[in-house]
Structure 1
């Protein structure tokens, strides 16, 4: 029976899983609501249940938010999941008898973009998912950078506007306040009392001065952050993901212009949209499982999970 790999994506609201063959075809996928009081046992139960249906699974990749020591397979701290110093891969391997590995959800998303998405032909990039919050996955020298304390990429809480608006983290002027999807919608509501989403704000560009102002403030904040990242890491490419990336050239065109203006003395990194979509983290988890066995088959996989369903 051909080998298959299991990826598990632990989130605050749901635990998702996907089974992929060595050829990159999706055998099955599913999800269930997260029970924060017993996440570890829930993940083990999911793995055991799926293994009964797919005994050809030979390894498991798990991804999780929080502070993750990927080398030790330990969730150091994940506030929303009530996990602290949890050796998740050891527990999962003991329960299933299979090799398992642990990845950070954001870095695993970046890994998926690196091996089968927009970053496949680059030697360095910064992947920035923009949704409710903002983070970054740093791909440098063909590997993901986790940082000294396993917390690299928390750019959403980088102050970009001195003495700016209050952020939930306690600081002022953070990038997330101005450029996250939630931040854009909140600032529009603050100025108009109208409670509308980012897509509707985008639709009003060029017709609504307040929509224009809120949008361009977000672009300015993002451009500042990308300028800082460029001068520190000198990446080849910025890959923008998350819900806001669906804004297309309404976002990318002014962002490229402002980044170029801020980096007037040097060439700007290329800016493009992520290709992996909402399944990026899951594909990253499965790719980690494949890599764990010593196989490089994941480098040949596609990323259209619907097309690849068996």
Structure 2
């Protein structure tokens, strides 16, 4: 990220004003450059975007002015043919940095990428004295980068005005406009979303092709998020999928205040391991659990009619030991011939963090790409490095 002489982020020049058509042309050129494996000539960009050469030249002039692309070194321009070498252009990875943070009750995880979506570094810090704002600053400080835009994943319900309305894990932030607080503290745009909704968004882009998804997170608790026509379904008050907000709602007869309990206690992993090994009692308990949660989930499915049910969270890592009885219970309740597939989440870890990163790219597209509306480089996020010394998460992890 470029900085001014005083160390503050250098102000990016505003792109030349233009119409929606002009911005659309700029987005097409940015995407062509991002998808290329090497620098492109004006003619190559024109061919890939079906835009005219003069239009491409105008777009490149604007993008050079705002600093999101650069002209490739002459060594790349030499084609061996006589005459003036063709000008080649590429996106500048150092034009911006993008940060994503996943806020938990006890830790804050941070991931920082360059303008292309390639990971620069990641960090995790503990939350001291319940002060999550300080932990956010510490997590970013450890990365050694000052981001141009930040995406945050939070476990809680966001109100229509963006304030955190309720959260058992982030009590110090309840009632606060976290995006505004972070933007003010760190002097860059920030966007905040529920962590389960962000995990669902990441699965929509990186999982099996589907425009409509019911995402079921199963860990210590059960949570639902919905993707309809490719976007997060929020509802009038951002409460779509928030089944836990119904008074007296219980997923199972043994759950307590929304927390799942098992014959093995709070941890489901030993139970699932015994079920996978063929123990009848363990299998019966898993089947009973699936039969109990299926009716409420079936009601959701018949309301939004998704193509996929994606199961994430700790329990999903046990594969068909859980998915098979859940699929059976759901399909038994649905009398229609069309039944959604039930699959495990593709992202075994970092689903919320990846979703926050994608939202940050979308929210800060003007800062990162020099033009609004450029989609996030989702496919680059599939190769995120695991946290240092990360062990395989427990099946009871939320």
TM-score band w.r.t. shorter chain: 0.7 to 0.9
Which of 288, 298, 308 is the aligned partner of 1:237?
A: 308
Which of 292, 298, 302 is the aligned partner of 2:381?
A: 302
Asked if residue 111 in structure 1 is aligned to residue 201 in structure 2, the reply is yes
Give the Cα–Cα distance (whole angstroms) in 2 for the partners of residues 160 and 133 of structure 1: 9
Give the Cα–Cα distance (whole angstroms) in 1 for the partners of residues 155 and 273 of structure 2: 32
Asked if residue 102 in structure 1 is aligned to residue 173 in structure 2, the reply is no
* Superposition RMSD in Å: 2.7
Farther off after superposition, 152-161 or 276-285: 152-161
Partner of 1:204: 274
Contact preservation (8 Å) 1:126, 1:239:
yes
Which of 258, 263, 280 is the aligned partner of 2:351?
A: 280
Which of 68, 78, 90 is the aligned partner of 2:180?
A: 90
Alpha-carbon spacing, 1:224–1:304, altered in 2? closer, same or farther (3 Å)? farther
Asked if residue 134 in structure 1 is aligned to residue 222 in structure 2, the reply is yes
Asked if residue 54 in structure 1 is aligned to residue 150 in structure 2, the reply is no
Which of 340, 365, 369 is the aligned partner of 1:269?
A: 340
Asked if residue 74 in structure 1 is aligned to residue 160 in structure 2, the reply is no
Alpha-carbon spacing, 1:271–1:36, altered in 2? closer, same or farther (3 Å)? farther
| Higher share in strand | 1
Contact preservation (8 Å) 2:109, 2:139:
no
Which of 287, 290, 294 is the aligned partner of 1:223?
A: 294
Deviations 1:89-128 (A, max 9, x none): 222222222111111111111111122x215x21100111
Contact preservation (8 Å) 1:125, 1:237:
yes
Give the Cα–Cα distance (whole angstroms) in 1 for the partners of residues 251 and 100 of structure 2: 36
Alpha-carbon spacing, 1:245–1:46, altered in 2? closer, same or farther (3 Å)? closer
Q: Which has the higher contact order (CA 8 A, sep 6+)?
A: 1
Deviations 1:198-255 (A, max 9, x none): 3332333375332122111012123323321221111111000111111212222232
Asked if residue 32 in structure 1 is aligned to residue 125 in structure 2, the reply is yes
Farther off after superposition, 102-111 or 295-304: 295-304
Which of 98, 115, 122 is the aligned partner of 2:210?
A: 122
Give the Cα–Cα distance (whole angstroms) in 1 for the partners of residues 183 and 242 of structure 2: 30
Deviation at residue 76 of structure 1 after TM alignment: 2.5
Partner of 2:239: 151
Alpha-carbon spacing, 1:139–1:41, altered in 2? closer, same or farther (3 Å)? same
Deviations 1:267-286 (A, max 9, x none): 21111110112211111111
Q: Secondary structure at the match of 2:383?
A: coil
Contact preservation (8 Å) 1:126, 1:237:
yes
List runs of 5+ in structure 2 lacking aligned partners.
1-93, 366-373, 389-398
Deviation at residue 26 of structure 1 after TM alignment: 1.2
List runs of 5+ in structure 1 lacking aligned partners.
170-175, 190-194
Q: Secondary structure at the match of 1:12?
A: coil
Q: Secondary structure at the match of 2:200?
A: helix
Q: Secondary structure at the match of 1:271?
A: strand
Alpha-carbon spacing, 1:104–1:10, altered in 2? closer, same or farther (3 Å)? same
Contact preservation (8 Å) 1:160, 1:224:
no
TM-score by length of 1: 0.81
Farther off after superposition, 144-153 or 278-287: 144-153
Give the Cα–Cα distance (whole angstroms) in 1 for the partners of residues 327 and 111 of structure 2: 36
Larger Rg computed on CA atoms = 2
Partner of 2:84: none
TM-score by length of 2: 0.64
Deviations 1:251-301 (A, max 9, x none): 222322232222133321111110112211111111111111233133342
Deviation at residue 159 of structure 1 after TM alignment: 4.1
Give the Cα–Cα distance (whole angstroms) in 2 for the partners of residues 243 and 207 of structure 1: 20
Give the Cα–Cα distance (whole angstroms) in 2 for the partners of residues 142 and 304 of structure 1: 23
